[in-house]
Each structure stands twice: as C-alpha cells, then as structure tokens.
Chains A and B, each alone.
Chain A
Amino acid sequence: MNLVIVGLNHRTAPIDIRERLSFQGESIEEALGRLVGQYDINECVILSTCNRVEIVGISQEIEKGIREIKRFLSEYHSIPLRDLDDHLYVHTGEDAVRHLFRVASGLDSMVMGEPQILGQVKDSYSIAVQNDTAGVIINKLFHKAFSVAKRIRTETRIGAAAVSISYAAVELAKKIFGNLTGKTVMLVGAGEMAELAAKHLLTAGVREILITNRTYERAVEMAREFRGSAVMFREFLHYIKGVDIVIASTGSPNFIIRPDDVMGVMRERKHRPMFFIDIAVPRNIDPLVNNIDNAYLFDIDDLQGVVEANLKERAREAEEADAIIDEEMDTFYRWINSLDVVPTIIALKQRLEKIRKSELEKALGQLNGLSEREIRTLDAMTSSITKKILHNPINRLKKEANNVDGDFYIEAVRKLFELEDEEALKKTRSGEE
C-alpha cells in the first residue's frame, strides 16, 4: 500500500494552469469514480481550491501510482502531460503524509495559518467517503490530518494573529479593551475598509455603531445597513465622548480630529481609553493624538506594520507547528507500516504459535509419564490445528491485500488478534536484511 500525492499549488503553477486543472462541484464525484474505475488507484481524494489541486491516492506501487495520477490529470483535463509536468509536485510515503498534514494545518497556504483550508480538506474527504473511494488508509490519514490541524491550532498561535488590515484593527481593539461587548464604534466617513473593520468589530461584540459622513444621506443609508445611527457630520465631535473606537476614512485634506478635541473628550469620559483608527490618506487624525494618555492612534501604515509583525509571528509559530507534525508523523507512520500484509501474516502465525506452545506445555505438565512418541503426537496435532485454522484467513489476506478493501482486512486481523505493531515492524526489518 503506497500513498502518493500529485498536485500543484500557487507556488508551482500560475493561475491559468490552476484554473484549467481545477475540479468544480459535481465533477469531483465523477472524477473520483474514474480514478478508481479506469486507473490503477485503490483509494483517492481530490482536493481542489483556488490555490491548489491535489490528488491523494493509494496504489500498489509508487511509480505506477504517480504515473496513473498524472495520466488521469492530463486526460481528464485534456492537457498534454508535458505542459503539465513542470508544475506538478509529487509526494510519496512519509513525505506525502507530512505534506497532507501541513496542507490541512494551513502551513502550506498562501497566507500561512489561514483556517479555511481545513474546511476545504474536510469537504474533499467527505466527498470521497460518499463516493466510496476512501478506504482504511485514506480514512485514517485524513482523520489524523484533522486532529493534527486541530492540535496545531490549539497549541500554537499560528492562526491567532490577524493578517488583514481590518482584522488587525479588531485585534488591537482587543488589546486595548479586552472585551468589546458593550463598546461603541463610530465611522467617520465611509469607505470599503472602514465598513469591513466595522463589520468585524460588530461580530466581535461591539454594541453600538454611529455613522457620520459629509453627505448625510450616505450616513443614513449605511446606518440602516449596520443597524446603527447616523450623525450629522458637523456635529460628530459632540457624540465622540461616548465612543470607544473611532474609524476615520474621509477624503478631507486636513485633520478633522485634533489633540484639543480629544483632550476635552477624555476629561468628559473620565479618561476611559479610546482607540483611533485612521485609514484615510491624507490622514484625518492629528498624529499628536497618540501622545494623549489613554488614547491610542493607529494609521494605515501602522496597521500594515501590525499585519507584517503578525505574519512574522506566524512564521515563528510555523516552526513549532512543524515540530508537532514530526511528532504525529511518527505514530501515524508506525501504523501505516504495519498494514503490510507480510508482517501481519508473520505476526499472526507467531501469535497462534505462542498460544499453542504455552497451552501444550501446560497440558504436558499435567500428563505425567507420556512417552516420547505420545508427546510428539500431541505436538503434531496441536500444530496442525493452528495451521488449519490459519489456512483460510491467510489465503484470504494474501488475496485481498491487492484490492481496495485489503487494508480493511489487515487492520481487522491486527485488531482481532491484538498484533503488536512494533513486533511486526521488527520482523519486516530483520526479514529485509
């Protein structure tokens, strides 16, 4: 049983190739059917997102598996293989397991640590399950990948730091206020980014939203959209004292919020902290506002700086995530190796032989004074019983090992007879030497 991953992603292929190779909705089901039916692949999953197309397959032989998947990709999308080959990467065996774990955890994503990919991997897997192209190995592999991704998410801060400007604003707000529930935000001016930030803030629990704009109608319109209230532009400074977060994005060429305004407001609100986000260029808020105690001002460049710092933090966390993957790889690989049919048969035979020997000794201990011949007869009889019992299961295992369900049989035998993985591994190794 060999695991093979063939695919391409944003690093290896330009968008036009990715587009041509992508699988959309319904077509995945059909493609899965063809892969298992017409090509020599035992189990498979197709992962297709806007940044990557990957085929995870299980085949009898590694080389053949790679060839078959490539042939499938080229034939299915009618692209000559030579146009495709340079963009494709191939992972096999242990390397493939690691690759899948990294993909599921978002470590291989364009934005490192982004969480959407896990959902996409889950969807791809469940389509494979529905179409019966996922066998024992694929099942275990993907479930393991999900648990690894989850472990990385909880044990590292890979996904914790915001990597978009609007999320960075929310995150900063949380470092200023802790809890955003019950806070009030004011949008001064309307812009796409301001709206986006406001949306995130509302999701994070902000209670009230005030909107002001030079054209009052626009403010009213937005207020309706956000279920907030519109404020006249020339009056907005009167309302600011009840506001905790101010997002400025007007086209004004001059500062519209000055230190004096803020100082007066601060006294009125008993110096409770205020967060000013200035995403306008030219800037709307005098940078000196940041010098006032309990007022925190971030302009667009500062936010960009936050995003970059967060990306750096993520890269640092990625190292830790890779260490977790190494750890998980070990346990998974031990299991996958045990699925070879030969060591399983050896282990099964040994198991029964051990039982036979110990029972025989027990019996002989009770039957005193048996002759040499009698002992030999007993030995031969018990031995032939175990052989006869094993005859069918072993033949069946050998035959089924080459089918889709092979791993299922092997796994079942291992579980039924509690065959130790370690023991089998040692045997294969010493057998190879």
Chain B
Amino acid sequence: MSYIFFHITAAAYFVATLIYIAYLFSHRAGLVRAGRYLLYGGFGAHTVTIIGRWIEAGRTPATSLHESLTLYAWLTVALYIVLLYRYRITVLGAFVAPFAFLLLVTASLLPKEIVPLAPALESYWLPVHVILAFLGNAFFTLACIFGIMYLIQDRYLKKRRIKGLYFILPSVEILDELNYRCLTYGFPLLTLAIITGAIWSEYSLGSYWSWEARQIWSLITWFLYAALLHGRLTTGWRGRKSAMFSVVAFAVLIGSFFIIYLLFGGAHGLLR
C-alpha cells in the first residue's frame, strides 16, 4: 500500500526536477513556484510512504538500504522546506529535487521486502540512532549543495561572466554562511549518531566499538568535518576552500555509506 505513495513521491520529485531544469534555463518565476509546490506535494506523499512502512514493519523503517534511502531523502526534503521558510532561497529546490529523486530511484532498484531485524538489535536505540545519523546526513547534504552553489556563483563572479545561473543564485556571502550553518548542525548530529550507535552496540552486542567498516568510516567522516569546522573557526577558512572541502567530505560520507552497504549488505554488515 505504502508503495503506491512511494511511486507518487518519486513521480512528483521527477516532474519537479524537470520543472526546475526549465527554470534554470528560463528564470521564470512561475516555474520555481510550480517546482516548489510539486516538492511539497511529493513530500506529503513521502511522509505517507514512511508512516505506512513504519506501521507495516512495526519498527523504524531504516534497516534495509531501500528504507534508509527513502528516509534519508525524506529528511533532506524536510530540511529543504525548513530552510526555504527561513531563508527564501527559491533556487535551492533545483538542487534538492534531483537529489531526492535520485535517492528514490536508487531505492526503487533495491530489494523492497521488509527484512526482519535480528532480535538482538531490537531496541529504542534504533530510531534514535538512525534518525540522528540521517538528519546529520541531510544537513551535510545541504552543506554540500550550498558549497556547490557557492562554487558556481564564485566562478561567475571571478570570471565576470554575467549570465545564466548568476542571475538566480544568491550572493556568495550568504551561500558561505548557509554552508557553515549546515555544518554546525550536521556535525553535532553526526557526533551524537556515533555515540548512540556505540551505546546501542554495547546494549545489544556487548561492545561499544568493534572496529567494523561502518564505524571506521564514520570516524573518518567525523574527522573530516571536524577539520573543516576547525579550519573555519580558527584559521578563517572561508568561501572556496570551505565549499570544496564540504563537497569532498560529503562525497566520502555518501561513498562510504553505499560501499559498505553493497559490500556487507547492511548499514553495519550485521544483517547478513
């Protein structure tokens, strides 16, 4: 049942993506509005999808890659909506819509069955841990998107090319600021996700830390973002450097996430 809504969501994000692409070329205000409404509509269907899955599975829908990607996309779009209300950067949807759509396409290609969770892992730590982790990821995603937008706008200004996206992208200072804000939210969330993960691991498996791939890579990502924030706060890293760094750190984050899933068949290789 919830799978119909999954399709509706993906379709809405797809059409929104097409509309936003048209917007990037034509700069018509009507298009950006249409894209936004489609994203809202898609988000509604998305919410139904997740609630439905939650009820069907009887637990947080984040134990298969299919579920995880769906949840991750949902949190990213939710965060986009919050940021839109706060900062009115309408062009943001043009980046979020294709990203959310790609996540859902990937999710749709993966096995959709509800896999029973190993009894040892049943715990209240499951929702706490995965929601913290994916909310952190959503913030890092937005940080990366703002970084990309920054790099594009910076290039237009440096090359004095006054055309195309220059007209619709916000100023570099605002983009830099938003990149930073997202990092300052993403980082504590990642830290908490690692800590709750360790507690959960101790609770169900009897050890806080077992040096498995997921743990190692989240630690690496943690260090990358720590270095980035440190650079921003102390040595005044700003603009291009910070934007590029947040794109790279995000690539590591997302890359390691997928590779571990594909190699070990689960977020932690525990579900085989």
Contacts and interface: CB of A to CB of B under 8 A. Distances in A.
Interface of A: 155, 157, 160-161, 172, 174-179, 267, 270-273, 290, 293-294, 296, 298, 302, 305-306, 309-310, 312-313, 320
Contact of A272 (B153, B171, B238): B238
Contacts of A306: 160, 162
A178 B170 CA distance: 7
A177 B171 contact: yes
B160 A302 contact: yes
Interface string B137-168: 00000000000000001000110101100110
A369 B268 CA distance: 94
Interface stretch (B25-33, B74-82, B222-230, B258-266): B25-33
B58 interface: no
A157 to B, nearest CB: 6
Interface residues of B, number: 25
Contact of A172 (B157, B163, B170, B240): B157
B153 to A, nearest CB: 7
B236 interface: yes
Given A178-B173, A296-B158, A298-B160, A273 B239 contact: yes
B58 to A, nearest CB: 47
A178 B240 CA distance: 17
A176 B163 contact: no
B158 to A, nearest CB: 6
Given A176-B173, A306-B160, A157 B167 contact: yes
A198 B200 CA distance: 61
Given A267-B236, A270-B238, A296 B157 contact: yes
A109 B27 CA distance: 23
A6 B237 CA distance: 63
Contact of B171 (A160, A176, A312): A176
B241 interface: yes
A305 B156 CA distance: 13
Nearest to A302: B160
Contacts of A320: 28
A296 B236 CA distance: 18
16 contacts: A155-B29, A155-B30, A157-B27, A175-B157, A176-B171, A176-B173, A178-B171, A178-B173, A270-B236, A271-B236, A271-B237, A273-B173, A293-B241, A294-B240, A306-B160, A309-B162
Nearest to A271: B238
Those 9 A-B pairs whose CB atoms lie nearest each other, nearest first: A178-B171, A309-B162, A270-B236, A178-B174, A271-B238, A302-B160, A294-B239, A271-B236, A306-B162
B28 to A, nearest CB: 7
Contacts of A161: 167
Interface in B213-236: 236
Interface string B11-54: 00000000000000001111000000000000000000000000
Interface of B: 27-30, 153, 157-158, 160, 162-163, 166-167, 169-174, 176, 236-241
Nearest to A299: B160
A48 B240 CA distance: 52
Nearest to A296: B157
Given A157-B27, A273-B172, A293-B239, 12 more contacts: A157-B167, A175-B157, A175-B166, A175-B171, A176-B171, A178-B171, A179-B174, A271-B238, A272-B173, A290-B158, A293-B240, A306-B162
Contacts of B240: 293-294
Contacts of A290: 158
Contacts of A155: 29-30
A179 B174 CA distance: 9
A232 B198 CA distance: 62
Contact of A177 (B27, B166, B173, B236): B173
A296 B158 CA distance: 6
A290 B236 CA distance: 19
A108 to B, nearest CB: 23
A290 B241 CA distance: 16
Of B160, B162, B172, B237, chain A has the most CB atoms within 10 Å of the CB of B162
A215 B162 CA distance: 36
Nearest to B163: A309
B172 A176 contact: yes
A310 B176 CA distance: 25
A174 B171 contact: yes
A310 B167 CA distance: 10
Contacts of B28: 320
Nearest to B27: A157
A164 to B, nearest CB: 14
A159 B75 CA distance: 38
Nearest to A313: B167
B29 A305 contact: no
Contacts of B173: 176-178, 272-273
Nearest to A267: B236
A310 to B, nearest CB: 7
Contact of A310 (B30, B158, B162): B162
A270 B237 CA distance: 8
Given A157-B167, A178-B173, A305 B238 contact: no
Contacts of A157: 27, 167
Given A157-B167, A177-B173, A178-B171, A305 B162 contact: yes
Contacts of A302: 160
Contacts of B157: 172, 175-176, 296
B172 A175 contact: yes
Nearest to A173: B171
A172 B160 CA distance: 10
Contacts of A179: 174
Contacts of A305: 160, 162
A36 B194 CA distance: 85
